[in-house]
Amino acid sequence: MREAYHVELDNLAENLARMSSQVADAMERATRALLDSDLGLAEQVISDDVAVDNARADCEEQAYALLALQAPVATDLRVVVAALHAAESLERMGDLALHVAKAARRRHPDPVLPEPVRPYFAKMGEVDVRLARRAEDVIRSKDIEVARSIETDDDEVDDIHRHLFTVIMDKDWPHGVAAAVDVTLLGRFYERYADHAVSVARRIVFVVTGQMPGSSGGSEL
Protein backbone atom coordinates (compact mmCIF):
# COMPACT_ATOMS: atom_id res chain seq x y z
CA MET A 1 0.00 0.00 0.00
CA ARG A 2 2.75 2.45 0.94
CA GLU A 3 4.70 1.55 -2.18
CA ALA A 4 1.69 2.40 -4.36
CA TYR A 5 1.29 5.64 -2.43
CA HIS A 6 4.87 6.69 -3.12
CA VAL A 7 4.40 5.85 -6.77
CA GLU A 8 1.51 8.34 -6.76
CA LEU A 9 3.74 10.96 -5.13
CA ASP A 10 6.38 10.37 -7.80
CA ASN A 11 3.72 10.72 -10.50
CA LEU A 12 2.61 14.01 -8.98
CA ALA A 13 6.18 15.33 -9.00
CA GLU A 14 6.65 14.22 -12.61
CA ASN A 15 3.46 16.02 -13.65
CA LEU A 16 4.74 19.19 -11.98
CA ALA A 17 8.07 18.82 -13.78
CA ARG A 18 6.29 18.50 -17.12
CA MET A 19 4.23 21.55 -16.26
CA SER A 20 7.45 23.48 -15.62
CA SER A 21 8.69 22.40 -19.05
CA GLN A 22 5.44 23.62 -20.61
CA VAL A 23 5.74 27.10 -19.12
CA ALA A 24 9.41 27.30 -20.08
CA ASP A 25 8.44 26.54 -23.70
CA ALA A 26 5.66 29.12 -23.46
CA MET A 27 7.95 31.92 -22.32
CA GLU A 28 10.61 30.99 -24.86
CA ARG A 29 8.08 31.19 -27.69
CA ALA A 30 6.40 34.29 -26.31
CA THR A 31 9.72 36.12 -26.14
CA ARG A 32 10.55 35.18 -29.71
CA ALA A 33 7.08 36.34 -30.78
CA LEU A 34 7.65 39.62 -28.97
CA LEU A 35 11.10 40.27 -30.41
CA ASP A 36 10.36 39.05 -33.95
CA SER A 37 6.73 40.21 -34.27
CA ASP A 38 5.90 36.57 -35.01
CA LEU A 39 2.12 36.22 -35.01
CA GLY A 40 2.21 32.45 -35.49
CA LEU A 41 4.29 31.90 -32.37
CA ALA A 42 2.11 34.28 -30.38
CA GLU A 43 -0.99 32.36 -31.42
CA GLN A 44 0.68 29.07 -30.47
CA VAL A 45 1.41 30.32 -26.95
CA ILE A 46 -2.15 31.57 -26.59
CA SER A 47 -3.74 28.33 -27.77
CA ASP A 48 -1.37 26.15 -25.71
CA ASP A 49 -2.23 27.92 -22.46
CA VAL A 50 -5.27 25.72 -21.94
CA ALA A 51 -2.92 22.74 -21.59
CA VAL A 52 -1.14 24.48 -18.70
CA ASP A 53 -4.48 25.20 -17.03
CA ASN A 54 -5.50 21.56 -17.45
CA ALA A 55 -2.16 20.40 -16.03
CA ARG A 56 -2.72 22.47 -12.91
CA ALA A 57 -6.20 21.01 -12.49
CA ASP A 58 -4.80 17.49 -12.86
CA CYS A 59 -2.06 18.15 -10.28
CA GLU A 60 -4.56 19.58 -7.82
CA GLU A 61 -6.89 16.63 -8.30
CA GLN A 62 -4.00 14.24 -7.60
CA ALA A 63 -2.92 16.19 -4.55
CA TYR A 64 -6.41 16.40 -3.02
CA ALA A 65 -6.96 12.68 -3.64
CA LEU A 66 -3.73 11.90 -1.80
CA LEU A 67 -4.75 14.13 1.11
CA ALA A 68 -8.21 12.60 1.32
CA LEU A 69 -7.33 8.95 0.84
CA GLN A 70 -3.89 8.61 2.42
CA ALA A 71 -3.83 11.16 5.27
CA PRO A 72 -0.10 11.81 4.75
CA VAL A 73 2.16 13.03 7.56
CA ALA A 74 5.65 14.55 7.89
CA THR A 75 7.61 14.65 4.62
CA ASP A 76 4.80 13.12 2.58
CA LEU A 77 2.43 15.85 3.73
CA ARG A 78 5.01 18.49 2.81
CA VAL A 79 5.27 17.02 -0.69
CA VAL A 80 1.52 17.24 -1.26
CA VAL A 81 1.16 20.75 0.17
CA ALA A 82 4.20 21.96 -1.77
CA ALA A 83 2.77 20.46 -4.95
CA LEU A 84 -0.44 22.46 -4.54
CA HIS A 85 1.51 25.71 -4.16
CA ALA A 86 3.91 24.85 -6.99
CA ALA A 87 1.07 24.05 -9.40
CA GLU A 88 -0.44 27.47 -8.71
CA SER A 89 2.89 29.23 -9.32
CA LEU A 90 3.50 27.29 -12.52
CA GLU A 91 0.06 28.16 -13.86
CA ARG A 92 0.78 31.83 -13.14
CA MET A 93 4.03 31.52 -15.08
CA GLY A 94 2.03 30.20 -18.01
CA ASP A 95 -0.40 33.12 -17.69
CA LEU A 96 2.47 35.62 -17.71
CA ALA A 97 3.90 34.09 -20.89
CA LEU A 98 0.37 34.31 -22.31
CA HIS A 99 0.27 38.05 -21.53
CA VAL A 100 3.55 38.54 -23.41
CA ALA A 101 2.19 36.64 -26.41
CA LYS A 102 -1.02 38.68 -26.37
CA ALA A 103 0.99 41.90 -26.41
CA ALA A 104 2.86 40.67 -29.48
CA ARG A 105 -0.43 39.77 -31.17
CA ARG A 106 -2.10 43.07 -30.25
CA ARG A 107 0.63 45.17 -31.87
CA HIS A 108 1.22 42.92 -34.89
CA PRO A 109 2.53 43.64 -37.48
CA ASP A 110 4.22 46.51 -35.66
CA PRO A 111 6.93 45.75 -33.12
CA VAL A 112 5.94 46.17 -29.47
CA LEU A 113 9.33 47.23 -28.18
CA PRO A 114 11.43 50.24 -29.17
CA GLU A 115 14.88 49.22 -30.35
CA PRO A 116 16.81 50.49 -27.27
CA VAL A 117 14.98 48.16 -24.84
CA ARG A 118 14.92 45.01 -26.98
CA PRO A 119 18.21 43.63 -25.60
CA TYR A 120 16.86 43.90 -22.04
CA PHE A 121 13.81 41.83 -22.88
CA ALA A 122 15.89 39.30 -24.78
CA LYS A 123 18.01 38.85 -21.66
CA MET A 124 15.05 38.67 -19.28
CA GLY A 125 13.43 36.08 -21.53
CA GLU A 126 16.61 34.03 -21.58
CA VAL A 127 16.92 34.10 -17.80
CA ASP A 128 13.23 33.36 -17.23
CA VAL A 129 13.37 30.29 -19.45
CA ARG A 130 16.53 29.14 -17.69
CA LEU A 131 14.80 29.52 -14.33
CA ALA A 132 11.83 27.43 -15.45
CA ARG A 133 14.12 24.71 -16.85
CA ARG A 134 16.06 24.69 -13.60
CA ALA A 135 12.84 24.47 -11.61
CA GLU A 136 11.93 21.42 -13.69
CA ASP A 137 15.26 19.82 -12.77
CA VAL A 138 14.82 20.70 -9.09
CA ILE A 139 11.36 19.14 -8.95
CA ARG A 140 12.83 15.88 -10.19
CA SER A 141 16.11 15.90 -8.25
CA LYS A 142 15.08 17.74 -5.05
CA ASP A 143 18.58 19.25 -5.07
CA ILE A 144 18.32 22.09 -2.58
CA GLU A 145 21.58 23.74 -3.66
CA VAL A 146 20.28 24.07 -7.21
CA ALA A 147 16.97 25.28 -5.79
CA ARG A 148 18.71 28.00 -3.81
CA SER A 149 20.76 29.05 -6.84
CA ILE A 150 17.55 30.00 -8.63
CA GLU A 151 17.27 33.06 -6.39
CA THR A 152 20.61 34.33 -7.71
CA ASP A 153 19.34 34.23 -11.29
CA ASP A 154 16.15 35.94 -10.18
CA ASP A 155 18.27 38.86 -8.96
CA GLU A 156 19.48 39.37 -12.54
CA VAL A 157 15.90 39.79 -13.77
CA ASP A 158 15.15 42.18 -10.89
CA ASP A 159 18.15 44.31 -11.81
CA ILE A 160 17.09 44.57 -15.45
CA HIS A 161 13.51 45.31 -14.44
CA ARG A 162 14.65 48.19 -12.22
CA HIS A 163 16.93 49.54 -14.95
CA LEU A 164 14.03 49.68 -17.41
CA PHE A 165 12.39 52.32 -15.26
CA THR A 166 15.42 54.57 -15.57
CA VAL A 167 15.31 54.12 -19.34
CA ILE A 168 11.66 55.01 -19.83
CA MET A 169 11.74 57.84 -17.26
CA ASP A 170 14.67 59.53 -18.96
CA LYS A 171 13.67 63.01 -20.13
CA ASP A 172 15.07 62.17 -23.56
CA TRP A 173 12.84 59.07 -24.02
CA PRO A 174 11.59 59.62 -27.59
CA HIS A 175 9.10 56.77 -28.01
CA GLY A 176 5.98 58.17 -26.40
CA VAL A 177 3.65 57.19 -23.58
CA ALA A 178 2.14 54.10 -25.23
CA ALA A 179 5.56 52.50 -25.68
CA ALA A 180 6.52 53.37 -22.12
CA VAL A 181 3.34 51.69 -20.84
CA ASP A 182 4.06 48.56 -22.92
CA VAL A 183 7.62 48.39 -21.60
CA THR A 184 6.42 48.83 -18.02
CA LEU A 185 3.78 46.11 -18.24
CA LEU A 186 5.98 43.66 -20.11
CA GLY A 187 8.86 44.19 -17.72
CA ARG A 188 6.51 43.39 -14.86
CA PHE A 189 5.40 40.16 -16.56
CA TYR A 190 8.99 38.95 -16.88
CA GLU A 191 9.84 39.98 -13.32
CA ARG A 192 6.81 38.17 -11.87
CA TYR A 193 7.53 35.06 -13.94
CA ALA A 194 10.97 34.83 -12.33
CA ASP A 195 9.47 35.39 -8.88
CA HIS A 196 7.12 32.45 -9.36
CA ALA A 197 10.03 30.23 -10.42
CA VAL A 198 11.72 31.16 -7.15
CA SER A 199 8.53 30.26 -5.29
CA VAL A 200 8.56 26.78 -6.86
CA ALA A 201 12.20 26.30 -5.85
CA ARG A 202 11.47 27.40 -2.30
CA ARG A 203 8.74 24.78 -2.06
CA ILE A 204 11.26 22.10 -2.95
CA VAL A 205 13.59 23.33 -0.20
CA PHE A 206 10.59 23.13 2.13
CA VAL A 207 9.92 19.52 1.10
CA VAL A 208 13.52 18.49 1.81
CA THR A 209 14.26 20.52 4.95
CA GLY A 210 10.87 21.24 6.50
CA GLN A 211 11.63 24.98 6.43
CA MET A 212 10.99 27.69 3.92
CA PRO A 213 14.18 29.60 3.01
CA GLY A 214 14.60 32.54 5.32
CA SER A 215 12.38 31.14 8.07
CA SER A 216 13.81 31.17 11.58
CA GLY A 217 12.58 27.77 12.55
CA GLY A 218 9.73 25.33 12.47
CA SER A 219 7.77 23.97 9.57
CA GLU A 220 5.44 26.02 7.43
CA LEU A 221 2.42 24.46 5.79
Whether the Cβ atoms of residue 2 and residue 28 lie closer than 8 Å to each other: no
Q: Which phi and psi angles does 175 have, rounded to 5°?
A: -100, 5
Please give the Cα distance from 153 to 193 (Å, whole number): 12
Confidence band of 219 (pLDDT split at 50, 70, 90): very low
| Residue 14 predicted with pLDDT over 90 | yes
User: Of 190, 198, 200, whose CA–CA distance to 95 is shortest?
Assistant: 190
- Model confidence pTM above 0.85: yes
What pLDDT, on the 0 to 100 scale, is given for residue 78? 86
Least confident window among 51-60, 98-107, 149-158: 149-158
The tens digit of pLDDT for each residue in 176-191 reads 999 999 999 999 999 9
The fraction of the chain above a pLDDT of 70, given in percent, is: 95
What pLDDT, on the 0 to 100 scale, is given for residue 212? 64
Domains of the chain (ranges plus CATH)?
Answer: 2-209 (1.20.58.220)
Please give the Cα distance from 173 to 88 (Å, whole number): 38
- DSSP codes, the chain: -HHHHHHHHHHHHHHHHHHHHHHHHHHHHHHHHHHHT-HHHHHHHHHHHHHHHHHHHHHHHHHHHHHHHH---HHHHHHHHHHHHHHHHHHHHHHHHHHHHHHHHHHTTS-SS-GGGHHHHHHHHHHHHHHHHHHHHHHHH--HHHHHHHHHHHHHHHHHHHHHHHHHTSTT--SHHHHHHHHHHHHHHHHHHHHHHHHHHHHHHHHHHSS-TT--SS---
What pLDDT, on the 0 to 100 scale, is given for residue 12? 93
Q: What is the mean pLDDT of residues 141-153?
A: 89
Q: What is the mean pLDDT of residues 112-137?
A: 97
